[in-house]
Amino acid sequence: MDYSIARRRMVAQHVVARGIHDEELIHVMEELPRHLFVEEALQSQAYTDYALPIGEKQTISQPYMVAIMTQSLELKRSDRVLEIGTGSGYQAAVLSRLVTHVYSVERIANLARRARRVLDKIGCSNVHIQVCDGTSGWGEQAPFDAIVVTAGAPDIPQHYLQQLEIGGRLVIPVGGSGAQILKRVTRVSENHFDYEDILECRFVPLIGKHGWSQTS
């Protein structure tokens, strides 16, 4: 299979055709080897526009969802970004090509180790991974210019709002365990936040102290 052709087709049909216009993001998604972030048996499906299992009851998000979440962050090259839920590492890889530093937290150690191997293989040395409860963010590295959450939360954890820089953007799916609304929150001032709804979506649950419980 010619993965480079598959990547360009994926971006044209499932990213650009659906309204993604950030040219740098489009270029990154055309170049990144998404198939390396899924199991070998599923690599032929890596450039289709749906989520794929990556083990541990987790998924790699569909390409369009990665694109719309990333574009909604309105990133600048100098930004420091926090990602909640490393998962396969693909979202972190996309971010790493667009900003200075990516800080990614993952509660499942096996996924974090696998993502680290792939990220190292393709040269994403500016991605820093920590295994911990992602619902608490990464306070030691705060504040962040942008935060992206790749799991559905019952509501917005206050830690994320507190760890945003003034002017920073948070993109997070919020709602029930079956479906959520993707929201963007902008920290306008110390105590003022603007909230926007982007689209309906469906993510695996955000599990942790300030999210869903493991048994819910």
Cα–Cα distances in angstroms (integers) from residue 195 to residues 118, 125, 159, 172, 183, in the given order: 35, 33, 16, 11, 7
Residue spans of beta strands (DSSP E) within 33-179: 52-55, 58-60, 80-84, 101-106, 127-131, 144-149, 164-175
Reported residue count of the chain is 216
Please tell me what DSSP assigns to residue 140. Answer: G
For the CA atoms of 149, 60, 76, 161, the dihedral, rounded to the nearest 10 degrees, stands at: 0
Q: Which residue has the tokens 């917005």?
A: 156
**Token representation of residue 152:** 């559905």
Whether 61 sits among the annotated catalytic residues: the reply is yes
Q: Are 145 and 81 in contact (CB under 8 A)?
A: yes
Q: Are 63 and 37 in contact (CB under 8 A)?
A: no
Q: Say whether 64 sits in a helix, a strand or coil.
A: helix
Q: Are 210 and 192 in contact (CB under 8 A)?
A: no
Helix axes 3-10, 23-31, angle to 10 degrees: 150
Of 4, 44, 61, 216, the catalytic one is 61
> Annotated catalytic sites, by residue?
61
